[in-house]
């Protein structure tokens, strides 16, 4: 009998983490893509692409976690867990990269002297970057909890 | 007797990785700070700060590795290894964040229509970001190799 690690795949803590990731990624995507001209800056396109990858990934895993909690039968196959850990890790690195790029470009547009960025548009970019950072943080948490469980299997 | 993991603390592969990190971080710092006005942009200041942390860290560990290789006595204390893994991991996340921010801002300055960035200065910023990415990659390698060794101690 393997002891339960809170936050690993198939627990209610993991379900909460996944829901949070889905929520923050969707918020980041919405704040970014409701702005009119995000496609004219590379980092904003990158953020939209990565959020388009993170949302289905987190949502699928949230469904799996919800199912596991309902039937009280946590997932315990090392192969699947490795895929989840590696996927989480890759997506968290990409999310961090996108969030940093977006934040720095938005901050530059916000403070640049000759900038023609309307304040409400620029603050939306910054909010989007902040949401991406929160999503990164939760994604990293999931990755670490699952990595912690991995050697005991 | 613990078997040797190539790339973990105290091996010649690790010595090579640390030397590479020191080299690329120094190159990144030099390319950035030889440009005149890096302090007027937040991401560039951030990159300089992080490189100022990475260089002494990698250099110290390169010295330790070199000493271990010379006296043929690898470091095998879990406590120290945990510190090395956590330090490597934190520094690699910060390096990635700095490299992404620098790259996106430099790319924005490079391609912006009304930009007054001289081409030789902008390309130096891009080279500096590329060096920081290489340093991140090597730092991540060190972190993963040491993490791999950790459960067997």
Nearest to B47 by CA among B125, B123, B151, B118: B125
List of chain A residues whose C-beta atoms are within 8 Å of the C-beta of residue B114: 114
Highest mean pLDDT among A96-100, A148-152, B122-126: A96-100
Range in A103-107, A115-119, B6-10 with the lowest mean pLDDT: A115-119
Distance between first and last Cα of chain B: 10
Sole residue written with tokens 């590696």:
A86
Does residue A38 surpass a pLDDT of 80? no
Between B43, B108, B151, which is nearest A151 by CB? B151
Report the sign of the C-alpha dihedral through residues B120, B126, B131, B134, in that order: negative
List of chain A residues whose C-beta atoms are within 8 Å of the C-beta of residue B97: 96-97, 100
- For B6-28, the pLDDT digits (tens) are 778 888 889 999 999 999 999 99
What is the mean predicted confidence (pLDDT) over A120-147? 89
A104 vs B107: CB contact, 8 Å cut-off? no
* Separation CA B147–CA B59 (nearest Å): 20
A147 vs B73 pLDDT, higher one: A147
- Which residues neighbour B129 within 8 Å (Cβ) at sequence distance 6 or greater? B28, B47, B99, B102, B103, B106
A100 vs B105: CB contact, 8 Å cut-off? no
Sole residue written with tokens 């924005």:
B108
Does residue A58 surpass a pLDDT of 90? yes
- Which residues neighbour A102 within 8 Å (Cβ) at sequence distance 6 or greater? A32, A43, A44, A46, A47, A125, A128, A129, A132, B104
Compute the nearest-CA separation of A115 from chain B (Å): 10
Does residue A140 surpass a pLDDT of 50? yes
Low-confidence ranges of chain B (pLDDT < 50): 1
Percentage of chain A exceeding pLDDT 70: 91
Amino acid A63: pLDDT: 92
Does residue A146 surpass a pLDDT of 90? no
Amino acid A36: pLDDT: 62
Between A41, A100, A108, which is nearest B100 by CB? A100
What is the mean predicted confidence (pLDDT) over A16-35? 90
Amino acid B130: pLDDT: 94
B104 vs A42: CB contact, 8 Å cut-off? yes
Q: Is-contact B143 B85, C-beta < 8 A?
A: yes
Nearest to B68 by CA among B84, B88, B52, B54: B84
Amino acid A1: pLDDT: 44
Q: Does A51 touch chain B (CB under 8 A)?
A: no
Q: Is-contact A7 A65, C-beta < 8 A?
A: no
Residue A54 token pair:
């993170």
Amino acid A115: pLDDT: 63
ipTM above 0.90, yes or no: no
B119 vs A146 pLDDT, higher one: A146
What is the mean predicted confidence (pLDDT) over A95-119? 81
Does residue A117 surpass a pLDDT of 80? no
């Amino acid at each position: 009998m393997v002891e339960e690690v809170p936050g690993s795949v198939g627990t209610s803590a993991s379900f909460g983490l996944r829901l949070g990731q889905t929520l923050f990624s969707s918020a980041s995507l919405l704040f970014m893509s409701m702005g009119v001209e995000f496609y004219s800056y590379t980092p904003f396109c990158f953020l939209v692409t990565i959020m388009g990858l993170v949302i289905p990934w987190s949502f699928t895993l949230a469904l799996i976690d919800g199912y596991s909690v309902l039937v009280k039968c946590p997932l315990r196959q090392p192969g699947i867990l490795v895929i989840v850990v590696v996927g989480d890790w890759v997506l968290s690195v990409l999310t961090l990269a996108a969030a940093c790029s977006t934040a720095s470009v938005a901050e530059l547009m916000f403070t640049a002297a000759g900038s023609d960025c309307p304040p409400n548009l620029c603050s939306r970019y910054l909010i989007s970057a902040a949401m991406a950072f929160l999503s990164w943080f939760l994604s990293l948490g999931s990755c670490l909890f699952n990595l912690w469980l991995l050697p005991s299997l």
